[in-house]
Structure 1
């Protein structure tokens, strides 16, 4: 039986106008909030941690 947790690395790209940034903010749609919601659904539990690093590329 495995006692050490798995670690996964994902690279995510998204259209920023739909979200209010990466980090969870109460009452606002965020990338981290969306990912946590999806992982809870797929895994069927809350036993995970999301660590995020981001870069904002402004084209203006």
Structure 2
């Protein structure tokens, strides 16, 4: 019985982590700041590729 409960909380924790990272990246970009690499990594975004957006 502990496996479904553990799985539920693990999934919930992952959701909260991803949602929090999305909010942090959004706030940083709106504020004209670079987001922390940890938050980009949580979203599956390469930090170097993100920094190069808009540069030619």
| Same fold by TM-score greater than 0.5 | no
User: So what's the TM-score if we normalise by structure 1?
Assistant: 0.32
Greater relative CO, 1 or 2 (CA 8 Å, sep 6+): 2
User: So what's the TM-score if we normalise by structure 2?
Assistant: 0.34
**Structure ID, larger Rg:** 2
